[in-house]
Amino acid sequence: MSPAPDRPEQDLLYSDVEEELRASVRALLAARADSARVLGRVEDEQPLDLDLWRALAVDLGATSLPIPEALGGQGAGLRETAVVAEELGRSVAPVPFLGSAVLATGALLHLLGQGAERGGPDAQAEAALTRLAEGAATAALVIPLSTYPGGPLPAVSADGDALTGTVRSVADAAVADLLVVLAGDVLFLVEAAAARVTPVVSLDLTRPVADVVLDATPGVRLSGSGEAAVRAAVLVGAGILASEQVGIAEWCLSTTVAYLKERYQFGRPVGSFQSLKHRLADLWQELVLARAAARAAADALATGAEDLEITVLVAQSLCAAVALHAAEEAVQLHGGIGMTWEHPVHLYLKRAKADEIALGTPGRHRAALAPLVGLTA
Amino acid sequence: MSPAPDRPEQDLLYSDVEEELRASVRALLAARADSARVLGRVEDEQPLDLDLWRALAVDLGATSLPIPEALGGQGAGLRETAVVAEELGRSVAPVPFLGSAVLATGALLHLLGQGAERGGPDAQAEAALTRLAEGAATAALVIPLSTYPGGPLPAVSADGDALTGTVRSVADAAVADLLVVLAGDVLFLVEAAAARVTPVVSLDLTRPVADVVLDATPGVRLSGSGEAAVRAAVLVGAGILASEQVGIAEWCLSTTVAYLKERYQFGRPVGSFQSLKHRLADLWQELVLARAAARAAADALATGAEDLEITVLVAQSLCAAVALHAAEEAVQLHGGIGMTWEHPVHLYLKRAKADEIALGTPGRHRAALAPLVGLTA
Amino acid sequence: MSAPTTAREVRDLVADLLARHDPATTERTAFLNARWEAGLAWVGFPVGLGGLGAPRALQQVVEAELAAAGAPDNNPRRIGIGLGMAAPTILTFGTDEQKQRFLRPLWTGEEVWCQLFSEPGAGSDLAALGTRATRDGEDWVVTGQKVWTSTAHTARWAILVARTDPDVPKHAGMTYFVCDMTDPGVEVRPLRQITGEAEFNEVFLTGARIPDAHRLGEVGDGWRVAQTTLMNERVAIGGREVPREGGMVGVVSDTWRAHPELHTPEALDRLTKLWVESEALRHAGTRMRQQLAAGSPGPEGSAMKLAFARLSQALSGFEVELLAEDGLRHGEWTMFRPELVDFTGRDAGYRYLRAKGNSIEGGTSEILRNIIAERILGLPSEPRVDKDVPWKDLPR
Amino acid sequence: MSAPTTAREVRDLVADLLARHDPATTERTAFLNARWEAGLAWVGFPVGLGGLGAPRALQQVVEAELAAAGAPDNNPRRIGIGLGMAAPTILTFGTDEQKQRFLRPLWTGEEVWCQLFSEPGAGSDLAALGTRATRDGEDWVVTGQKVWTSTAHTARWAILVARTDPDVPKHAGMTYFVCDMTDPGVEVRPLRQITGEAEFNEVFLTGARIPDAHRLGEVGDGWRVAQTTLMNERVAIGGREVPREGGMVGVVSDTWRAHPELHTPEALDRLTKLWVESEALRHAGTRMRQQLAAGSPGPEGSAMKLAFARLSQALSGFEVELLAEDGLRHGEWTMFRPELVDFTGRDAGYRYLRAKGNSIEGGTSEILRNIIAERILGLPSEPRVDKDVPWKDLPR
């Protein structure tokens, strides 16, 4: 098998509109999610910042970007969503963006698309999306955050519309109003209040996971292939996560560069030592490739490109590694101070490490990619 | 399955006797195989230096070390053979040591050991070893140099004692008097003059390979399991090769250090630039581990340790990578001059790359190792 | 006539050229000279020097139209140094006479150029060079040794940097010349590489004479002029659009596909990883070209050169290892002077060895990392010991 | 009595001690004091200071015999800084009074020691430290801030380096002291790490008083004294015999074995590679101990520390990634002060985060590479800008 055919060149730049969106999000996060503030709340009972989340969702509309205008969204597409993810990665702001605005929204939007093919969308799915678009509700897709493309999906059973099963390590579930649950090939909407959602002490302090237990919990059945919708959402999530990882890497690189310019040892700025300079140059090189790959994934998701899957798998397997490398270098090059709880760099290390696992490790993505490009075992 | 049990600590130092042997070999190679001389003959019709080989075999007895005294050898064991290999690696001297004194000798010695168990050694094998011990003959084990532990062996067929088959990429065959050939489970001795041996243009200029074609060629049948003997020889070869690789890495590191001390750019010795210093420090660290692993392999081979196979596989998979890394860094850090034919560093690069393949790549060795230490797929 | 600004205007000019000089019946050099005169050689150049003073981006339109019409090109790979390095430098620093004399045959390929910069003692530290040029009447007399000179044996002209004042700090005492490669004081010797062949040359200058009229820029201004040359060299790298699996990754992936008997899970994962990085590098190239087209060029070319070198080395090394028994064998070591160099050509062993040069030629990866760290990331420079010392007093 | 030189002689002394003080019935501290008096604390130390002036290698015999007899030990991990760093420094530079006062309770563990070297502004560059000690009659008055101090909250004494002369170059103006941690001018605050817990402390010195009698070495000789301390710290690393799969590789291999459902070919090869390197590191440790025993210690300890840090980080990172769904979860982030630290303890997330410190504590990997390059490989040092400048004038 030969690789996928070439297609018209993708747009890998940031448009002016996207740069404006970035500026608004960045301004909000600078005001409301500076690192001292983020660090300050990670041990609170509720580490997620729901005030910030509302500002992001309602004031900026940053969560309704890919939802059609007819449902109260902006019909803007996933390139813009990726820009928001990049900024959220730069600030590790504790908001349920990935769980709600990417994964749950992604699954519901896919069902809608399936409905269009069948001649009519599901009214319940539309209603849920409208609530999400308005910022009136937060949702979570009930799969382990570690779910990977082509991997197993949770085994929740449906007896009629009563759902039973346990799903561990679900992103952003602790603050969700609505749970999107797969049982067999059917997607259900579940009011979170009806389920047992237990927050879990998490490696990632700014995106804690939770366990969801359903015990004959009532759900609303949505029409269409739930499995296809969830698998599509995992792909969307992996692609958007690549942009988050670019944001993480960028923060780590620029923060480390700034620190090494002002930190003196041996009578010189530490940043003048060549071996450190070369490591940072290599990191910058990795970031250049990661950004290009992440933009390609965002563009492919936005246009539904024929080689969407290849492009996302490339981006996710690369960007996960680059973000982690950047975070690990940032900790090391900050020396002792980087090992302290009071310095925010550990938040990025923990996020980057959790993101390495999220929606599939680099190895899982490569394993899924290889046969698609004719590299068979 | 749990890993192999611990056993008494191995001797990982060089003994005084071994250091004396090293000094003799090194003196001979300094006089007769300096790099200008080695480089000067690589494009000769016969790149292997048979005069040097005779001096090594006859004057120093460096090839008869593991052969029992009763057969004219020194009964010294494989620790000493490993020291010779290390020195030969340091000089990339073009002699058929690996093919004759390690692989062919190793297979014949194993047959002898099998014979002792069965109550009587094979007289023909003994006679061949005596010829090798005296330096009266050079032998080659007729397997591709790329043969790896547990991998396929050549398919030569025997019709009575007439052998037919083709074996490609055989180390040191072009100068061998005696060929040691596996057909089925039987080992045969074949006079090289009776076979068709065709030298091949080789990546490694100082250890060229050859193709061996047997066409109803007469052989002398040896008793015992030929396959067991060949597999044992591959393991011996892999273990000794680790020491050769240590020698290669050591030459590359010390030559690069010396060059960077004397090469000035930007008004400073290039060796004062920190990023290069750090890379060389890392290389030195790798070399420390590689040497310890290679010594462990040599000692395990010498004592027939219970965990011999584990120790050899560890050493070979590590040392192959370290030698290649050292050679690649040496080329890069020599800058332009390292890219020229006239500088000897390319001989080490080519040897290190061929050695990466020889007797199994690091990946093949890891694949063989994992189940032995309870790491199963 | 005002400069064209649209693709349509340029297309009309090409159509006119083709109407007047049918490529099918016009001799190659004649066609190229006609193209030059029509200003369609490089439309961004000034009128009268093969151009139209038009936006550089319109050049793509010219190339596409002429290629579609089957017109001969000037074989740009053969004259890359002239096009990529000498021409922009002459345009920036040359006198009118120099531009008139040199640019046209440079572009048509009637005169090949080479570059005499590097020396055995001045590689990464180009400013340390020791080739001396001393004034003698209207001429300069040049003595020294240059190295890593491709196409020196076919070149008519060379761009040359030489030391004209050893008593000032190294950056201040150099001057930039155009050197006549047919001068009896110029001797070219092939420089054999680890691949066995000789792409490059050593050039020995022994009292070679250069008229002062062939000086580019002011006396002592050679460093600044050379920076223009080198900047253009860097821009030239990674400029082309590459299809997926273009370059080394395609060659090695094909080797993988052709040899299922050599597959192992470990090797597959390594190859896939390199495939991923190669694809990301391709995206980075696309993005860089789009930035350029949008009028906001970024510094990403440096990243691409670093990544290109690393990947071509890793991929070609992987291939030799994968081939195992065949990897031990080699095509040939014969010494010859190749016409053109194809990094992905010949056999796996050649690719592996040739790729080693990718992190040295055109600026080593180490120097590139310095540049990225200081110019892009803004990290402080190391303490310098060679800035204020007369060249002749530098340790070497 | 002449010093024992054979294992047999030492065994007799141990038997004598055990006969006089039955470990089963003797109180722990009493037994340790008896052992001290018998010269069996550290046989290589002088007579009267817990030793016999015997070869250091004989200590192994003592430990083995006492362990076999069920005798209590001095819990060496709890008092590692005293044993490994303070004791050899006091032995080398201390006055007779200092040796008599400090060594015995240090060894028995009745007095815990800590180390006040690093400062927020002086980490890798220890000689830049700014904690000031000024003479006041028979005392020194010390003011400044120290950091990364383990066991500061349980310590009775600290070894301390402070600046006594800011007007000379930095290496020349330091002095080494023994500081009383119960002095009212000493405040200890826990320093929380990225693991959530606080192994280390910050120590604030505000007019803490140290009698001149507690100075170690001459005034201004603190750098040289501190080098002895640090050299002993380095020797202590990697000194123990490790069984195969000891340490991080064993923990992670066991995780692999316990989770077949998580296996992938890619992960297996990565783990095997790390297993190979860990085993080679173990061989290197064996070889280093054998060299030491043979009387020819090598510099391999530096390589081992570098490799140890790299491998513990790679292995623990691999483990979290392998665990995937479980890797996203964590044990606890609660702030507490652990009694002892076990790099391989707790859960995978802890191991991963704690291992990040392995390339920083006890000398960063970057500083270690400098040392290897210069002292072992003999590469030239970089241009220094801080050698001849008074400490007070250094940029910071």
pLDDT tens across B35-73, in order?
Answer: 999 999 999 999 999 999 999 999 999 999 999 999 999
Q: Are residues D69 and D111 in the same domain?
A: no
Q: Which positions in chain D touch C383 (Cβ < 8 Å)?
A: 382-383, 385
The DSSP line for A11-56 is --SPPHHHHHHHHHHHHHHHHH--HHHHHHHTTSSS-S-HHHHHII
> In the predicted model, is pLDDT for residue B1 greater than 50?
no
Q: Are strands D174-180 and D215-216 parallel, antiparallel or unpaired?
A: antiparallel
How is residue A6 written in tokens? 């070439």
pLDDT tens across D172-201, in order?
Answer: 999 999 999 999 999 999 999 999 999 999
Q: Are residues C220 and C146 in the same domain?
A: yes
Interface contact flag, D385 C383, Cβ < 8 Å = yes
Q: Are residues C91 and C217 in the same domain?
A: yes
Our CA-based measurement puts residue B5 at a distance from the nearest CA of chain D, in whole angstroms, of 8
Nearest to D364 among A335, A337, A340 (CB): A335
> In the predicted model, is pLDDT for residue D131 greater than 70?
yes
Q: Which positions in chain D touch C266 (Cβ < 8 Å)?
A: 265-266, 269
Our CA-based measurement puts residue C273 at a distance from the nearest CA of chain B, in whole angstroms, of 16
How is residue A322 written in tokens? 């680059």
Q: Are strands A139-141 and A178-183 parallel, antiparallel or unpaired?
A: parallel
Interface contact flag, C382 A272, Cβ < 8 Å = yes
pLDDT reported for residue C60: 86
Nearest to D373 among B278, B296, B376 (CB): B278
Nearest to C324 among B204, B273, B357 (CB): B357
Band of the pLDDT at A2, cuts 50, 70, 90?
A: very low
pLDDT reported for residue D297: 80
- Identify the active-site residue in C111, C202, C233, C300: C233
Q: Which positions in chain A touch C243 (Cβ < 8 Å)?
A: 6
Q: Are strands D113-116 and D157-163 parallel, antiparallel or unpaired?
A: parallel
- Identify the active-site residue in D233, D241, D300, D325: D233
Short-list C167, C157, C176, CA closest to C223: C176
Residue D370 within any structural domain of the chain: no
Q: Are residues D268 and D171 in the same domain?
A: no
Residue C394 within any structural domain of the chain: no
Q: Which pairs count as long-range contacts for D71-79, CB under 8 Å and 24+ apart, including other chains?
A: D71/D18, D71/D23, D71/D31, D71/D35, D72/D23, D72/D28, D72/D31, D72/D32, D74/D32, D74/D41, D74/D107, D74/D108, D74/D109, D75/D109, D77/D340, D78/D109, D78/D112, D78/D151, D78/D339, D78/D340, D79/D106, D79/D109, D79/D112, D79/D113
Q: Which positions in chain D touch B271 (Cβ < 8 Å)?
A: 379-380
Interface contact flag, C382 D385, Cβ < 8 Å = no
Interface contact flag, C284 A271, Cβ < 8 Å = no
Interface contact flag, C286 A10, Cβ < 8 Å = yes
Band of the pLDDT at D230, cuts 50, 70, 90?
A: confident
Q: How far apart are CA B155 and CA B248, in angstroms?
A: 33
pLDDT reported for residue C4: 87
pLDDT tens across D243-293, in order?
Answer: 999 999 999 999 999 999 999 999 999 999 999 999 999 999 999 989 988
pLDDT tens across D341-377, in order?
Answer: 889 989 999 999 999 999 999 899 999 999 999 999 9
Q: What percent of chain D has pLDDT over 90?
A: 84
Q: Are residues C244 and C358 in the same domain?
A: yes
> In the predicted model, is pLDDT for residue D384 greater than 60?
yes
Interface contact flag, D325 A337, Cβ < 8 Å = no
Interface contact flag, C192 B341, Cβ < 8 Å = yes
pLDDT reported for residue B129: 97
Q: Which positions in chain B touch C356 (Cβ < 8 Å)?
A: 328, 331-332, 339, 349
pLDDT reported for residue C129: 95
Q: Are residues C94 and C189 in the same domain?
A: yes
Residue C349 within any structural domain of the chain: yes
Interface contact flag, C370 A289, Cβ < 8 Å = no
Q: Which positions in chain B touch C392 (Cβ < 8 Å)?
A: none
* D345 SS3 class: coil
Q: Are residues C124 and C173 in the same domain?
A: yes
Mean per-residue pLDDT, A326-335: 98
Backbone angles phi, psi at C186, to 5 degrees: -110, 120
Query: Is the pLDDT higher at A186 or at D294?
Result: A186
Do the Cβ atoms of B71 and B131 come closer than 8 Å?
no
Our CA-based measurement puts residue A27 at a distance from the nearest CA of chain D, in whole angstroms, of 28
pLDDT reported for residue D36: 97
Our CA-based measurement puts residue C154 at a distance from the nearest CA of chain A, in whole angstroms, of 37
Q: Class for domain A228-372, per CATH?
A: mainly alpha
Do the Cβ atoms of D273 and D310 come closer than 8 Å?
no
Q: How far apart are CA C163 and CA C176, in angstroms?
A: 9
Band of the pLDDT at B8, cuts 50, 70, 90?
A: low
Q: Are residues D42 and D112 in the same domain?
A: no
Structural domain ending residue among the three candidates D52, D73, D94:
D73
Our CA-based measurement puts residue C267 at a distance from the nearest CA of chain D, in whole angstroms, of 9
Q: Does A275 touch chain B (CB under 8 A)?
A: yes
Short-list A316, A331, A299, CA closest to A246: A316
pLDDT reported for residue A299: 98
Mean per-residue pLDDT pooled into runs of 10, chain C (396 residues): 85 96 95 97 95 90 94 92 94 97 97 96 93 97 96 95 96 97 98 96 98 97 93 60 93 98 97 98 94 84 94 98 97 91 92 97 94 97 90 90
Q: How many domains does chain C have?
A: 3
Do the Cβ atoms of A174 and A113 come closer than 8 Å?
no
Query: Is the pLDDT higher at D42 or at D239?
Result: D42
As a 3-state breakdown, chain D gives helix, strand, coil percent values, each rounded to 5, of: 45, 15, 35
Nearest CA in chain D to A263: D396
pLDDT tens across B220-258, in order?
Answer: 999 999 999 999 999 999 999 999 999 999 999 999 999
Interface contact flag, B377 D378, Cβ < 8 Å = no
Q: Are residues C250 and C270 in the same domain?
A: yes
Indicate if D233 belongs to the active site.
yes
pLDDT reported for residue D234: 56
Q: Are residues C345 and C304 in the same domain?
A: yes
Do the Cβ atoms of C322 and C261 come closer than 8 Å?
no
Q: Is the dihedral of CA B356, B359, B362, B364 positive or negative?
A: positive
Q: Which positions in chain D touch B261 (Cβ < 8 Å)?
A: 378-380
How is residue D376 written in tokens? 């072992």
pLDDT reported for residue B120: 77
> In the predicted model, is pLDDT for residue B3 greater than 50?
no
Short-list B69, B86, B72, CA closest to B135: B72
Subunits that touch chain D (at least 3 Cβ pairs < 8 angstroms)?
A, B, C
Nearest CA in chain A to C291: A13
Q: Are residues C264 and C175 in the same domain?
A: no
Q: Share the mean pLDDT of chain B.
A: 95
| C148 Cβ neighbours under 8 A, 6+ residues apart | B336, C118, C191, C200, C361
Mean per-residue pLDDT, D79-92: 94
Number of C-alpha atoms within 13 angstroms, CB side, residue B160? 4
Give helix B78-91 / helix B226-262 axis angle, nearest 10°.
40
- We report the CATH number of the domain holding residue C332 as 1.20.140
Mean per-residue pLDDT, A4-15: 74
Interface contact flag, B314 D307, Cβ < 8 Å = no
Q: Is the dihedral of CA C338, C343, C348, C353 positive or negative?
A: positive
Nearest CA in chain C to D383: C383
Nearest CA in chain A to C305: A285
Q: Are residues C351 and C245 in the same domain?
A: yes
pLDDT tens across A189-235, in order?
Answer: 999 999 999 999 999 999 999 999 999 999 999 999 999 999 999 99
B186-191, strands of its sheet edge to edge? B139-141, B178-183, B186-191, B220-222
Q: Are strands C132-136 and C113-116 parallel, antiparallel or unpaired?
A: unpaired
Q: How far apart are CA D345 and CA D348, in angstroms?
A: 8
Our CA-based measurement puts residue A32 at a distance from the nearest CA of chain C, in whole angstroms, of 28
Our CA-based measurement puts residue C370 at a distance from the nearest CA of chain A, in whole angstroms, of 7
pLDDT reported for residue B115: 83
Subunits that touch chain B (at least 3 Cβ pairs < 8 angstroms)?
A, C, D
Residue C290 within any structural domain of the chain: yes
Interface contact flag, C359 B168, Cβ < 8 Å = no
pLDDT reported for residue D235: 56
Structural domain ending residue among the three candidates C203, C233, C263:
C233
Residue D368 within any structural domain of the chain: no
Nearest to D269 among C266, C383, C385 (CB): C266
Inter-chain CB pairs, A–C, below 8 Å? 143
> In the predicted model, is pLDDT for residue B6 greater than 80?
no
Interface contact flag, D284 B292, Cβ < 8 Å = yes
> In the predicted model, is pLDDT for residue B347 greater than 50?
yes
Domains of chain B, by residue range, sit at: 228-372
Which residues face D211 on adjacent strands? D139
Q: How far apart are CA D366 and CA A243, in angstroms?
A: 31
pLDDT reported for residue A89: 98
User: What domain range is D43 assigned to?
Assistant: 7-73
Q: Share the mean pLDDT of chain A.
A: 95
Measured CA distances, D6 to D2, D13, D60 (Å): 12, 11, 12
Q: Which positions in chain B touch A277 (Cβ < 8 Å)?
A: 275
pLDDT reported for residue D299: 86
H or E element that contains D303: helix D300-323
A162-171, strands of its sheet edge to edge? A157-159, A162-171, A209-218, A196-199
Using alpha carbons only, what angle is made at residue B107 by residues B101 and B112, rounded to the nearest 5 degrees?
A: 110
pLDDT reported for residue A220: 97
pLDDT reported for residue C233: 67
Our CA-based measurement puts residue A201 at a distance from the nearest CA of chain D, in whole angstroms, of 5
pLDDT reported for residue D4: 87
Which residues face C190 on adjacent strands? C201
Residue D369 within any structural domain of the chain: no
Q: How far apart are CA A255 and CA A248, in angstroms?
A: 11
DSSP letter assigned to residue A71: G
Q: What percent of chain D has pLDDT over 70?
A: 98
Which residues face B159 on adjacent strands? B162
Structural domain ending residue among the three candidates C184, C203, C233:
C233
Subunits that touch chain C (at least 3 Cβ pairs < 8 angstroms)?
A, B, D
Nearest to D307 among B3, B274, B289 (CB): B289
